[in-house]
Structure 1
Amino acid sequence: MLYISDNLKWLRNKLNLTQLEAAHGMKFGVDQYKKYEYGKNVPPAESLLVISRFYHISIDLLLTVDLSKVSIDNLLKLEDNRIVLPIVVNKEGENLIEIVTHKAKAGYTAGGYADFTFISELDHIHLPWLNKNEKYRTFPIDGDSMPPHNSKSYIIGKYIEKIGDVIDGKTYVVITTNREMVYKRLNKNGTNSFAFNSDNTFYNSFDVKFSEIAEIWEYVGSVERENFKPQTYDVNTLEEIIRRLQMDMTAIKQKLS
């Protein structure tokens, strides 16, 4: 559903403008503007840009969010207006943290991270020791590639706005444009990609280009649903370690030769 017609009326009334004043301010014909506000026509891309700049509201918001039901001041506009993150607060004005569950993970990676309604309907928690001026979110873990965390762990991440703010060797939850959510230790690999490394050496590292990254969240804590267990190795595990070491040595010899 598109909310553009309702939003045009709401924004105009908020500024106490008549339809004529709004139309003139955006350099639209009055009849043209009225058709947009009455929902008879959907503004084309060029007109949406004009409306967006006139009201200082992203096109994403104009089209997909009922602004009459949302506090615009409680929205965090991110770089290039690719996504808008709602900042949920409690009665004391304290920042709340959305929880992306295992059930919600598929929807989140499929584009839910850019869907205001999807984000606003997630459960949330409050952790008073976190910086109220930062944006946090909680994500589920899959597998055992990053011990001691496992599939019953949730990582609390701080939103990173710029790729340049990523610090080599730290751990991050990354959402890719390929609909993946991964928790890895990152290292810059050249000028346009990261090496994604697992703390569990059974898993090989892999590279992801900057252009394939939709979101990055820096680890600030975790929520564990079971006690950590000491890692043990059986005979099969040790054989696998030796096999991988042999493969690595073979690869090194081939490069040297």
Structure 2
Amino acid sequence: MSLFSDNIRALRVKHKISQEKVAESLMITRGRYVKYEDGTSEAPYEILKKIGQYYQISIDLLLSVDVRKIEVTDLLKLENNRLILPIQVDQMGENRIEVVTQKVKAGYLNGYADPEYIEQLQQISLPFLGVGKYRGFPVEGDSMPPHQDGDIIVGRYVEGLGEVLDGKTYIFITRSEGMVYKRLNKNNKNALVLASDNYFYPPYEVKASHILEIWEYQCSIARSDKRTEALESDTIKNMFVELKKDLAEVKNSIGLTN
């Protein structure tokens, strides 16, 4: 039997539903349904979709995760039968925040949709964040000052591209760029332009179809008290003005004119 067969049998037994009733809900015969449950026949996409909707669980989980090992009621359900995320709470009922450390970062692109992988991540609790699904991600490089290597960005899960706002910062999980923390520069219909706060790094475009998850910045956890020099636009402008004055003085001193 396949994992899918085990899953649909386990879900049916857990809900105390007969094979006849499930088949009727799927608008197929009981004999056809039995073949899916005993693994002698593979269900087509339309049947997979109907079963997912029937049990309110994503197709990804039905095909790739042993649902007998997780508590389905503790999962965050998303619209259109998309992936679902595990929500864990502590003894006080506060949401637990999973932290993707540098050590496990490489495996996140493969494990982000796997509740068993997520449950193995380190966890913290930040009650002041309020309602929502939160997760912590590591910072790399110097593209987003004042954040430094080793800092953790805590983001709130964003369900759709329609919720992102130009000028705000987000953790983007993408097929093309991996995990990045950037400021949204421009929100196009089919692509997003991501920019760094460090002007040394040029903006770049990511196709909307390549985006797997978006987490909106909520707070950060810094591991260093190192002082950073903020280069604001006015400061940079003043630097060029002073440089222009110095060049003019040099020209005058050696008798050069414009």
> What TM-score, normalized by structure 1, do the two folds share?
0.80
**Whole-angstrom CA distance in 2 between matches of 1:189 and 1:103:** 32
Superposed, which structure 2 residues align to 1:63-82 within 5 Å? 63-82=63-82
Secondary structure in 1 matching 2:53: helix
- Residue identity opposite 2:180 in structure 1: V
The alpha carbon displacement at 1:90 in A equals 1.6
Q: Is the contact made by 2:57 and 2:81 (CA closer than 8 Å) also made in structure 1? A: no
> Where in structure 2 are the equivalents of 1:183-202 lying within 5 Å?
183-202=181-200
Report the RMSD for the aligned CA atoms in angstroms: 2.6
Aligned pair partner of 2:167 in 157, 166, 169 = 169
In the other structure, the counterpart of 2:17 is 17
Matched pairs, number: 234
CA-CA distance at 1:160 after TM superposition: 1.2
Partner of 1:30: 30
Q: Please give the secondary structure, in 2, of the residue aligned with 1:51.
A: helix
Indicate the residue corresponding to 2:43 in structure 1: 43
Report % sequence identity.
48
Instruction: Quote the Cα distance in structure 2 between the aligned partners of 1:189 and 1:9.
Output: 44
Change (3 A) 1:106 1:82: farther
Structure 2 residue aligned with 1:247: none
Inter-partner Cα distance in structure 2 for 1:161 and 1:53: 18
State the Cα deviation string for residues 49-73 of structure 1 (Å, max 9, x = none).
2322333332222222333332222
Deviates more, 1:183-192 or 1:80-89: 183-192
Give the aligned partner of residue 62 of structure 2.
Answer: 62
AA paired with 1:208? V
Q: Answer whether contact 1:82 1:114 (CA < 8 A) is retained.
A: no
Secondary structure of 1:139's counterpart equals: strand
Structure 1 range deviating more: 170-179 or 218-227: 170-179
* Separation in structure 2 between the aligned mates of residue 15 and residue 79 of structure 1, nearest angstrom: 22
CA offsets, 1:179-230, max 9 Å, x none? 5111111122544333322121221222223232221111111111111323
After TM superposition, give the deviation of residue 2 of structure 1 in Å: 5.1
Q: What SS is found at the alignment partner of 1:149? A: coil
Q: Which moved more, 1:12-21 or 1:218-227?
A: 12-21
1:182 aligns with 2:180: yes
Preserved CA contact (<8 Å) 1:97 1:126: yes
CA contact (8 A) 1:145 1:200 kept: yes
Partner Cα distance (1:99, 1:177) in 2: 20
The AA in structure 2 aligned to 1:73 is T
The equivalent residue for 2:118 is 119
Structure-2 change in CA distance of 1:43 and 1:194 (3 Å): closer
Does the CA contact (< 8 Å) of 1:188 and 1:194 recur in 2? yes
Instruction: Tell me which amino acid in the other structure corresponds to 1:113.
Output: Y
2:116 partner letter: T
Deviation at 1:4, TM superposition (A): 2.0
Gaps of 5+ in 2: 241-258
1:45/1:190 CA distance change after superposition, 3 Å: closer
How much has 1:3 moved relative to structure 2? 2.7
Decide whether aligned partners of structure 1 residues 94 and 3 sit closer, same or farther in structure 2, where only a CA change above 3 A counts: farther
Question: Retained in 2: the 8 A contact 1:97–1:124?
Answer: yes
SS in 1 for 2:182: strand
CA contact (8 A) 1:97 1:125 kept: yes
Cα 1:209–1:26 shift into 2, 3 Å = closer
The normalised TM-score by structure 2 is 0.80
**Distance in 2 of aligned mates of 1:113 and 1:47:** 25
Of stretches 99-108 and 20-29 in structure 1, the one that deviates more from structure 2 is 20-29
In structure 2, the partner of 1:91 is: 91
Question: How far off its partner does 1:24 sit?
Answer: 3.5
Q: Give CA-to-partner distance per residue, 1:139-167, whole Å, 9 cap, x none.
A: 01110111111111110111111222222
Residues 202 and 127 (structure 1), Cα distance of their counterparts in 2 relative to 1, 3 Å cut: same
| Contact 1:148 1:228 (8 Å CA) reproduced | no
| Distance (Å, rounded) in 2 between the aligned partners of 1:165 and 1:58 | 22
